[in-house]
Structure 1
């Protein structure tokens, strides 16, 4: 640790407080009741609290997080932002989301490191190209910038890529989505937390929900590891724990939970500006502002409520990354992890 930071840390410890103001308050106890209780202190839960307070004047809100702030799927995602979906509903929904992202740093008065990179979905077959053309036309119909490009265009924008792709899946072209972007997930969470707190919302970390009280078909309260809370409105934003919470009120859910794994490499000099996705190879990669290559693949096929990562995943993804970028063979993997995805039938 640099001497300056060590000195600052020691001074803060001796004073009993940090020299920088907290991003949000840390309430010592829960109140007896709230107008709204939001279960889950990740990106969705914190954003819901922020917009309820900002747009609807609902400020008597408690956000309950069983661990630390944004320590669940928000900390485990791979930060890609796009709106180049296939269905009209998906395109409209995520295009509205993209517009919010583009203004989010100003809205929260905090740099969320939103960075427009461009997004390539590689095509390795005629079927891939047909799907790319289909998606491009749907996107254009709803005003989203996407176009089908040839392999030379891909190579021009990503000179390091191997168009041969290991000899078994040559790149024929791609769907290019110019607005594709990345952002810093923890900055987003902390920005929403600070904004919600400034509007009166309480954020309670290390507060696990143990049960939900129901009377005559309506929620009346939440039981937590720190006491009971009376409320008539509960919002569930808990990702992989959704089925478990629904069972607390006697509901069986068709949602299944599947791990979604990812990994990052050691930091490298900046060389990859766009986001690269290959559905055929079940792989995607982008480079973070810190130089790490953030890589992921498709969902694990088997239902499992777990955030453990596996060696099989790392080995399989590494093979596909080397098909795309053979020069990465000596690059070290720093860490890997898994999030939990809620999947509907």
Structure 2
């Protein structure tokens, strides 16, 4: 598969110059299952922060060909609860220096995000979140409809709408990045450190000895392991079934779409829970739109037409200027969702297996922060403080981190 390159990268055209395509060794100190953003970021920070390079990243297809290539690239940290705000703000601070860290262009654009409120309850919840964000040192503002129109003049703030805009939260530091470039940047750095990125390598099972996993069975042979980190997003439940571990996960298709190329008219990101759509404009000019997950469970990278129909109707109501825009293409990823809409990161019943899943619709924005914290967790054998609240045991203790309000719209 030929890997395209971003402008200005000044790299040879042949993909072998981006990273090696090695044969798997017989064993590694760390085996990461999943070659998406989280797996690649974890590998990078294992090498960068901890000097651990005897690492393999196993990907059943091609690197970053799953959700990393199928998301809508939004980055923000304006979550309600302290635990969520901490991990996402850590990630956002890393995003702000990531291009220099990776030595690779990622087109990170901090254009801000508006979360619209359409009902009195929306207003109360939104103002509460703004105040909570401020207490956590996160940039957040509450805006009136007129102030919303100043930041994004093309939003329809008319009171005649079925769901009129009553105001919005605003995080100025939020933004977007080019997901492919992010993945390639992490992959290049990991490869340069000597980490093996092994594609076309599907995990088919595990060899267990007591409380430890000793080998990972793959389509390219068995691989011995000191530690295993599971970073397989929507397919995590399949891997856990192979280990005999139950986790409260459901996998759903999540659809998105882009329009034809348009002139740059949309200056920020706009999200709405009530009419269920979010819209940004990519660097080339296409509108990038998403909505909520399809209601059914499944592992197919497709979705139902009515979801697209509803998000298009919502987008046209909020942005009448786009009424004649043409739909260019649609796609879907597979997101893993937990009962409290927060991730699961940390220990499993096996001493040397660490879990990273349940990010639902928010995985992309967490990429560098999660990679940093999971690498620290693997290196030290204890959960990093930023991910400690997201352990699997919270579903037994009841210490849930309920972010349904902040994560109701796919993002």
**Structure 1 and Structure 2 fold alike (TM over 0.5):** yes
| Alignment-derived partner of residue 98 in structure 2 | 104
Q: Give the ranges of 4+ consecutive aligned residues of structure 1 lying more than 3 Å apart after TM superposition.
A: 17-21
| Alignment-derived partner of residue 55 in structure 1 | 49
What is the CA-CA distance between 1:295 and the residue it aligns to? 0.4
| CA distance in 2 between partners of 1:164 and 1:87 (Å) | 32
| Alignment-derived partner of residue 6 in structure 1 | none
Aligned residues: 328
Residue ranges of structure 2 left out of the alignment (5+ in a row): 1-11, 340-411
Q: TM-score, normalised by structure 2?
A: 0.78
Summarize deviations over 1:258-297 as a string: whole Å, max 9, x none. Answer: 2211111111111101100001111101000011111001
| CA distance in 2 between partners of 1:166 and 1:255 (Å) | 41
SS state of the match for residue 99, structure 1? Answer: helix
What is the CA-CA distance between 1:158 and the residue it aligns to? 1.5
| CA distance in 1 between partners of 2:234 and 2:15 (Å) | 34
| CA distance in 2 between partners of 1:213 and 1:339 (Å) | 30
Where does 1:188-203 land on structure 2 (aligned, <5 Å)?
A: 188-203=182-197
The answer to whether the Cα contact below 8 Å between 1:309 and 1:336 also exists between their aligned partners in 2 is no
Q: CA 1:166–1:311 in structure 2 vs 1: closer, same or farther (change >3 Å)?
A: farther
Q: CA 1:20–1:46 in structure 2 vs 1: closer, same or farther (change >3 Å)?
A: closer
Q: CA 1:19–1:169 in structure 2 vs 1: closer, same or farther (change >3 Å)?
A: closer
| CA distance in 2 between partners of 1:30 and 1:132 (Å) | 49
State whether structure 2 residue 263 is matched by structure 1 residue 284. no
SS state of the match for residue 270, structure 1? Answer: coil
State whether structure 2 residue 252 is matched by structure 1 residue 258. yes
Where does 1:6-155 land on structure 2 (aligned, <5 Å)?
A: 18=13, 22-27=17-22, 29-155=23-149
| CA distance in 2 between partners of 1:79 and 1:19 (Å) | 26
| Alignment-derived partner of residue 340 in structure 1 | 334
Summarize deviations over 1:180-209 as a string: whole Å, max 9, x none. Answer: 110011111110000011111000111111
The answer to whether the Cα contact below 8 Å between 1:260 and 1:299 also exists between their aligned partners in 2 is yes
| CA distance in 2 between partners of 1:193 and 1:25 (Å) | 10
User: What do you get for the CA RMSD once the two structures are aligned?
Assistant: 1.4
What is the CA-CA distance between 1:232 and the residue it aligns to? 2.4
| Alignment-derived partner of residue 232 in structure 1 | 226
The answer to whether the Cα contact below 8 Å between 1:117 and 1:275 also exists between their aligned partners in 2 is yes
State whether structure 2 residue 312 is matched by structure 1 residue 318. yes
| CA distance in 1 between partners of 2:266 and 2:328 (Å) | 18
What is the CA-CA distance between 1:21 and the residue it aligns to? 6.5
| CA distance in 1 between partners of 2:243 and 2:98 (Å) | 35
The answer to whether the Cα contact below 8 Å between 1:166 and 1:324 also exists between their aligned partners in 2 is no
What is the CA-CA distance between 1:325 and the residue it aligns to? 1.1
Q: TM-score, normalised by structure 1?
A: 0.92
What is the CA-CA distance between 1:161 and the residue it aligns to? 1.6
| CA distance in 1 between partners of 2:13 and 2:42 (Å) | 29
Residue ranges of structure 1 left out of the alignment (5+ in a row): 1-16
What is the CA-CA distance between 1:179 and the residue it aligns to? 0.9
| CA distance in 1 between partners of 2:278 and 2:177 (Å) | 16
| Alignment-derived partner of residue 214 in structure 1 | 208
Pair member with larger Rg: 1
What is the CA-CA distance between 1:105 and the residue it aligns to? 0.1
SS state of the match for residue 69, structure 1? Answer: coil
Residues 305-314 or 185-194, more deviating = 305-314
| CA distance in 2 between partners of 1:184 and 1:134 (Å) | 31
| CA distance in 2 between partners of 1:290 and 1:166 (Å) | 33
Residues 130-139 or 327-336, more deviating = 327-336
Summarize deviations over 1:238-266 as a string: whole Å, max 9, x none. Answer: 00110110111111222111221111111
Residues 252-261 or 230-239, more deviating = 252-261
What is the CA-CA distance between 1:300 and the residue it aligns to? 1.8
Residues 247-256 or 232-241, more deviating = 247-256
The answer to whether the Cα contact below 8 Å between 1:218 and 1:232 also exists between their aligned partners in 2 is no
SS state of the match for residue 27, structure 2? Answer: coil
State whether structure 2 residue 175 is matched by structure 1 residue 172. no
The answer to whether the Cα contact below 8 Å between 2:37 and 2:64 also exists between their aligned partners in 1 is yes
